[in-house]
Amino acid sequence: MSDYLSAEAARLAPYTPGEQPQDQQYIKLNTNESPFPPSPRVVKALSRAELLKLNLYSDPTCAALVGALARRYELKAENIITGNGSDEILAFAFRAFCGEGRPVAYADITYGFYKAQTALFGLDAHIIPLREDFTLNVDDYLDFPGTIVIANPNAPTGMAVPRADIQRLLEARPDRVVIVDEAYVDFGGESCVPMIYRYENLLVVQTMSKSRSLAGGRVGYALGSPALIAALNRVKYSFNPYNVNRLSLIAGAAAVEDESYFATCTAAVVRNREWTARELEALGFTVLPSCTNFLFARCGRLSGGEVYRRLKENGVLVRWFDAERIRDYVRITIGSLEQMTALVDELGRLLDEL
């Protein structure tokens, strides 16, 4: 390791993002992006006139985007902060609500970035195993004296916790923050947004990367009580006041305003997911119940690593985690019906060859 590295940087556990190959045409089902382009309203809003304003800094308050979100979720501007992807919002939250005397808890099998970010901030992280069947037992968190972060629905399993369980966590200890990461909620989960006015300690984090086809735009946001949002702003204004760029502010607002495109795209993903789950089961896969835009599935005849490698050799990218408990599974993003048909055909061929 380099002599220039600080002791803190040497201790980091950097996250490995899913592959983003720039050279070859793959059927790309590995990073839970939308198979659909952004809304036509987004494309129209990103005009030449807006490009010509790139010499000016973006609005640090993100007022137009915050306003669009406030209308969509029936909240006030003081309930909302936007970020450069929800990854940035999560970082603000870990910095704002965890630290000395405030540990953080999350599941053993969940979004890998929680581990990377909590290491970045040197936090005391408590890893709480999911049950054998990958469900989350909220009783394990009831007495935890620190911040809790729950991806709901979870990644990479795709499984969700009922809102009533989150409510129990909020009520058990109003002195701690519960961060509910709803990156995938628009594909069938039960959102905690309606509970924001009731619980000051609830922070809901969402993203436009999945259901609003803006992964490359990097637009995330948090919804919560004014006290929590003010805390996140303290961190934001200590780090990067212009955190959302001019074009993404415009794209995000236009995407939120196009409710019918959002509804059409999410419904198509849900339909394709149900079709794919049935086809995978017909091929002998075990498929976990999913309310997300991906499936977590185990072949039984081939290891997860082999499924990943053989699919990649044949032009289909899925995600495989070489980690305890989930090594046998692959995570398959739901794409267009054409992409899912190609995946199922390829898997059928691979299994026939065994």
Ligand X SMILES: Cc1ncc(COP(=O)(O)O)c(C=O)c1O
Which residues of the shown chain bind ligand X in the complex (CB under 6 A)?
32, 85-87, 111, 151, 155, 181, 183, 207, 209, 215, 220
* Closest distance to ligand X from the beta carbon of 1 (Å): 28
Q: Which residue number has the CB closest to ligand X?
A: 85
* Closest distance to ligand X from the beta carbon of 156 (Å): 8
**CB closer to ligand X, 35 vs 220:** 220
**CB closer to ligand X, 181 vs 258:** 181
Residue 111 to residue 296: CA distance in whole angstroms: 13
**CB closer to ligand X, 153 vs 304:** 153
**CB closer to ligand X, 251 vs 350:** 251
* Closest distance to ligand X from the beta carbon of 30 (Å): 11
* Closest distance to ligand X from the beta carbon of 21 (Å): 17
- What tokens does 168 get? 């129990």
**CB closer to ligand X, 181 vs 186:** 181
Residue 40 to residue 25: CA distance in whole angstroms: 24
Closest CA to 187 of 17, 80, 35: 35
Neighbours of 145 (CB within 10 A): 12
Is the CB of residue 330 less than 8 Å from the CB of residue 265?
A: no
Residue 94 to residue 67: CA distance in whole angstroms: 25
Residue 104 to residue 243: CA distance in whole angstroms: 25
* Closest distance to ligand X from the beta carbon of 47 (Å): 25
* Closest distance to ligand X from the beta carbon of 93 (Å): 11
Is the CB of residue 183 less than 8 Å from the CB of residue 31?
A: no
**CB closer to ligand X, 96 vs 347:** 96
Residue 319 DSSP SS3? strand
* Closest distance to ligand X from the beta carbon of 294 (Å): 9
| Burial degree of 37 (CB within 10 A; 0-12, 13-18, 19+) | exposed
**CB closer to ligand X, 104 vs 347:** 104
* Closest distance to ligand X from the beta carbon of 20 (Å): 12
Residue 330 to residue 157: CA distance in whole angstroms: 10
99-106, Cβ contacts within 8 angstroms, sequence gap of 24 or more: 99/123, 102/146, 102/147, 103/144, 103/145, 103/146, 103/147, 104/146, 104/147, 104/148, 104/149, 105/141, 105/144, 105/146, 105/147, 105/148, 105/149, 106/148, 106/149, 106/150
**CB closer to ligand X, 88 vs 279:** 88
* Residue spans of alpha helices (H) in the chain: 7-10, 40-45, 48-51, 63-73, 86-97, 113-120, 163-172, 226-236, 246-257, 259-282, 304-313, 337-352
- What tokens does 267 get? 């419904």
* Closest distance to ligand X from the beta carbon of 19 (Å): 13
Residue 44 to residue 181: CA distance in whole angstroms: 30
**CB closer to ligand X, 183 vs 251:** 183
